Amino acid sequence: MVVSLKANRKRIVAFLILAAVVIGACIFLKGGDDPGPAEAVPGGTNEERIAYLESFGWSVESEPAQTREVMIPAQFDDVYTAYNVMQQAQGFDLKPYAGEVCTQYQYKINNYPGEEEVYATLLVVGEKIVGGDVACSKLDGFMHGFARDSVAYGETPGQSGSEKGTASAVPDPVSSCPAGPSESADPTVPAESAAAADASTESTVETDTVPEDAYPTD
- Give pLDDT tens digits for 142-182: 999 999 999 999 887 765 443 444 334 332 222 222 223 33
Helix, strand, coil percentages in the chain from 3-state DSSP, rounded to 5: 40, 20, 40
> Given this model, what pLDDT does residue 189 score?
37
Which carries the bigger pLDDT value, residue 91 or residue 24?
Answer: 91
* CB 181, CB 189: distance < 8 Å: yes
Tally of CB atoms within 10 A around 112 = 18
Helical (H) or strand (E) element with 138:
none
83: pLDDT strictly greater than 70: yes
Average of per-residue pLDDT across 72-77: 94
Which carries the bigger pLDDT value, residue 126 or residue 16?
Answer: 126
Tally of CB atoms within 10 A around 180 = 13
Average pLDDT of the chain to the nearest whole number: 72
> Given this model, what pLDDT does residue 19 score?
61
Q: How far apart, in Å, are the Cα atoms of 132 and each of 6, 14, 126, 173?
A: 68, 56, 15, 24
Which carries the bigger pLDDT value, residue 99 or residue 198?
Answer: 99
Strands (DSSP E) along the chain, which ranges? 41-42, 66-71, 101-108, 118-125, 128-136, 143-144
